[in-house]
Structure 1
Amino acid sequence: MKITQPSARAAVEAVAIQNGICVRPVPVRRYDLVTGQTKVIDIPCGSTLETRCQSCAKRNRQLRMAQCREGWHLDEEPVTTTAEPDWYQKYLIELRADAQARRDECESAGTSTEDYDGVITELNTEIRQAGLRGDVLPDEKPRRTRSTRRRQDAPDLPKRKMAATTLGRVFEANGKTFRPSMFLTLTLPSYGRVRDGVPVDPDAYDYSRAARDALHFSKLVDRFVQNLRRVAGYDVQYFSAVEPQRRLAPHLHMAIRGTLPRAEIKQIAAATYHQVWWPSVDTIRFDGDHLPVWEDGAGYLDPTTGEILPTWDEALDAIDEPLHVVRFGAQVDVKGVLSGTQDADQCVRYLGKYLTKNIGDCHTPQNEAQRRHLDRFTDALRYEPCSPICPNWLRYGVQPKNAKPGMRPGGCRSKAHKPEHLGYAGRRVLVSRKWSGKTLTEHKRDRRAWVLEVLGLPGDQSAPDRYTWRPVKPGDDDVPSLTRRLLKQISERQRWRAAMHDPPDDPPATGQAAA
């Protein structure tokens, strides 16, 4: 085997990663509204996956662990405030406003709005991912309602009067006060016997049910939190992470502030369910080359009879029972945890164990049997509808919501169908709003302020509206090459590290603060 020498660019990136520097920075131009000066600044990519950027992923993992640790055993009510939208969130709203205006112009002129509908859908997704809650324009159509009566096969739950607090019970023993919390693990039910993460009988393993449970797991978690708060009688706060088991089914690790009896936690898990009110997928109507065809003004048609397929709303009107019911499995692990103990630190590390990996990368197949199991599970996800707009509905004779030409079963672009996500398309970290009283951005600011204080540097005292930010277009002559920018940041980071070990006695003059 011939060993070649590494490239200089690879060496620069390796040193950058060693110093915790983002190797995929996003250059943005900062405009100073007071002086009129502009400056190009590198913003870290902020990736949470080490396959994209090890430095940003590690930094995000550390921030999440700090957030978990800070909010778990609070003894005073957290003070929550609504943050002001940042420059990127405002930028997305500007794009959304422009797209909506152009769509309204097309609608007024009687021309197709399909192109702008797709852009608006993508922008809405980006806006939610950027941290803004709620929709820019809520759905003006009346919401479809279903019966809220509990299923007869689900036990009833006690309901306590709600107290206006997020703190758990306080216990006293031997003159000391204790405020214990919990570490909880919830799993999905069995789909067949498994050994070493592989089905003993693959033909009897219920891959279809496993796929549906994974796709709707996030809704089941939401239901559990609702039931937990009703039974507990106070606004239970939690920090949780979703990870895959070796059998590839998602499960939940949850740090909960306060404590409840273990019997009640298991009762809540057993009584929690989520009903998926979707059309039936028992019969495959179109497959292979026999697929519905698109006709402008009508939608998708049966290629043989020319019959228009029922729309999403028409298909929902025809159903009288849910397509699927998601439940937790019988295995529920509950552990009491005290603040400042070794168990608490171990649980925090466990919650952050896999946060820098894709769900599908947490358990890499080690043998042929595990690879076949992964392939079967991925195949089951390929044609399972993941949402009302999923093109897979055409396979079962239903037009997806907001149908458009070019849709094809098996061609859904949602990450839920990709092997690296194993059917779970939700957020990996789920944190209640009053967990620590701070957003993740505020935790970042606290960390930056601590570094500046150690270095003896003044913080940013400028007015918050002094600067505006705009993305830099590709090929901009003011932006140096990535290698040059990385070298500059390596030099700065080395100076900072030296100053951290030997901070200055006197802070430098204003204007010399670290960026």
Structure 2
Amino acid sequence: MTHAHDRALPRAVRQAMPLAREVLEEVAKQHGVCIRPIPLKRLDTHTGTTEIIDVPCGATLDSKCPPCAKRNRQLRIAQCRDGWHLNEEPAITPDEPNDEQRWLVEFRADLQAQRDDAEKAGLDTTDLDAVIVGLDEEINAAGVRGNVLGRTTTKRTRSTRRRQDAPDLPKRKMANTTLGRTFTSTDGKTYRPSLFVTLTLPSYGKVRDGVPVDPETYDYQRAARDALHFSKLVDRFVQNLRRVAGYDVQYFASVEPQKRLAPHLHMAIRGTLPRAEIKQIAAATYHQVWWPQADEVVFDGEHLPVWQDGVGYLDPATGEVLPTWDEALDALDEDAEPLHVIRFGEQVDVQGVLAGTPDADQCIRYLSKYLTKSIGDTLDGGQAQQEHATRMLDALRYEPCSPACPNWLRYGIQPKGAKPGMLPGRCRSKAHKPEHLGYAGRRVLVSRKWSNKTLAEHKQDRRTWVLEALGQADEPTDPHRYVWRPVPAGDANVPPLALRLLRSVHERQRWRAHLRELEARATGQDLSAMEGRAA
């Protein structure tokens, strides 16, 4: 209902007034409160009480939730700083299996025995196989790495002979270390320098201000395929880097878009190598995509494959079953050429960095600069760049992004795990979405022995610091005490979002007031005098 005061105002004035919901969200953002909290039902098994708890959404992008994105960025900054210049080897000891993991593996053993007996008896094992696959996924979700049986399918291999158009790489004997070399100066000080490396993709045509000078000659197909497979190229670079370095190189890297919309890599590397070697490694690194052909269109428009239950996709004209993904791969003979070969461009930037220097801080800020932005968010809004992005999306539309991509139907192949309803050009993978522009990999790449901590442990460190600052002990609780359950949509016990945000803002105000009071006591200052000066 409109208040009488609002009705008395001219219509144009009322329309110019901000909505109360928008003002509340802005206040929540200013106080670092998640604007999309997820309500969860928490049951205390000790007391039997149930309450609704708001959990931050944990978004990593500003476009979804700026406060959560900011917290995640700060965690990444802390993670990068903690691991870049370690002086001692990180010690990673696998956790002991817990009761849940043991029970799942024991149950897996029982199912495997049942399946083996059924197979010996000549019975159908389809249902048991489906249950086993689901159980293997549950075992992984419980915190177990790898498959219980290891590799269960034969791995296809291709010739490991290096391409003739790629330079050879030196290979050093591996040392059991992650730290890199130290150097002693003339004054007796010891330094352990590290590296900050930037790698880019090659040119697809002349560009000015991030936009192709001639869109007609710009190689959009190659740009699209390079974006789709960029993460594999980065993996190859790390493998080559470790072989040449001769030790277990650790890294913290972020993938960001250039203005021309091509992904490029910023990488903090622990330890140092000569700049010439880094450039040699980049020049010698490539990734070959051994997929079936995707250049000759077989089905298009209304002439598309049709689905038949129990069989798969058929040629609409002949009724023949299309080759499956595995059959299409088997058809590639020894003389086959890869669908695509991706390489880095000639532009390679290498900087030496010392711990605790302004250069190190600047590099860390640069690494995390765009972590809260999607690749599509980098568009400056200009018409020319918007048109460039549209052409890039058009090039990506029918490019297969994975073996399971529906676009394979366009080229006469059934996607891996084919199911009814698939249509070329309608892939739901994030690689085809405007905000990703082809790159579907992780934006932050961190090696396993980087900081000797997981991101969850860095988050726990931050929680511990806040609780200690507030004078509260972070006492360990029984992990089985609380049972968490999702709250169904429309649950009458969940207060309106606006009320939940108001409560969270008040709680954050209370924490900050307490922190200011503790800080004033620690410095021997009177709180009222300090606030008076600040005012």
2:497 partner letter = L
The answer to whether 1:370 aligns with 2:388 is no
Structure 2 partner of 1:415: 430
Structure 1 partner of 2:215: 202
Distance 1:387 1:25, change over 3 A: same
- 2:302 partner SS: coil
The answer to whether 1:314 aligns with 2:330 is no
- 1:242 partner SS: strand
Structure 2 partner of 1:182: 195
Structure 1 partner of 2:243: 230
More moved, 131-140 vs 5-14: 131-140
Structure 1 partner of 2:530: none
Counterpart-to-counterpart distance in 2, 1:229 and 1:467: 44
How far did 1:192 drift? Answer: 1.2
Structure 2 partner of 1:355: 371
How far did 1:357 drift? Answer: 0.9
Structure 2 partner of 1:269: 282
Alignment of 1:270-309 (within 5 A): 270-309=283-322
Given that 2:201 and 2:344 are in contact with CA atoms closer than 8 Å, whether structure 1 keeps it comes out as yes
Distance 1:375 1:138, change over 3 A: farther
Could you say what the CA RMSD is over the residues aligned between the two structures, in angstroms? 3.1
- CA-to-aligned-CA distance 1:187-220 (integer Å, 9 cap, x gap): 1111111111111221111111111110000001
How far did 1:474 drift? Answer: 2.0
Given that 2:92 and 2:452 are in contact with CA atoms closer than 8 Å, whether structure 1 keeps it comes out as yes
Structure 2 partner of 1:460: 475
Structure 2 partner of 1:257: 270
Given that 1:279 and 1:315 are in contact with CA atoms closer than 8 Å, whether structure 2 keeps it comes out as yes
How far did 1:110 drift? Answer: 9.9
Counterpart-to-counterpart distance in 1, 2:253 and 2:310: 46
1:399 partner letter = Q
Identical-residue share of aligned pairs (%): 69
How far did 1:399 drift? Answer: 0.9
Structure 1 partner of 2:518: 503
1:395 partner letter = R
2:239 partner letter = Q
Structure 2 residue runs without a partner (length 5+): 1-11, 116-122, 523-535
- 2:241 partner SS: helix
How far did 1:37 drift? Answer: 2.6
How far did 1:369 drift? Answer: 2.1
Structure 2 partner of 1:392: 407
In the alignment, which of 369, 374, 395 is matched to residue 380 of structure 1? Answer: 395
Higher Cα Rg, which structure? 2
Counterpart-to-counterpart distance in 2, 1:131 and 1:413: 28
How far did 1:76 drift? Answer: 1.1
TM-score by length of 2: 0.85
- 2:518 partner SS: coil
Structure 2 partner of 1:216: 229
1:219 partner letter = K
Distance 1:72 1:274, change over 3 A: same
Structure 1 partner of 2:350: 334
Given that 1:124 and 1:136 are in contact with CA atoms closer than 8 Å, whether structure 2 keeps it comes out as no
How far did 1:307 drift? Answer: 2.0
Structure 1 residue runs without a partner (length 5+): 507-515
TM-score by length of 1: 0.88
Structure 2 partner of 1:402: 417
Given that 2:379 and 2:385 are in contact with CA atoms closer than 8 Å, whether structure 1 keeps it comes out as no
Structure 2 partner of 1:475: 490
Alignment of 1:87-166 (within 5 A): 134=146, 140-166=152-178
The answer to whether 1:429 aligns with 2:444 is yes
2:268 partner letter = A
The answer to whether 1:41 aligns with 2:56 is no
How far did 1:138 drift? Answer: 6.7
Counterpart-to-counterpart distance in 1, 2:75 and 2:270: 19
Distance 1:380 1:222, change over 3 A: same
Structure 1 partner of 2:464: 449
Structure 1 partner of 2:259: 246
Question: What is the total number of aligned residue pairs between the two structures?
Answer: 487
Distance 1:111 1:155, change over 3 A: closer
Structure 2 partner of 1:66: 78
Given that 1:16 and 1:23 are in contact with CA atoms closer than 8 Å, whether structure 2 keeps it comes out as yes
More moved, 493-502 vs 480-489: 480-489
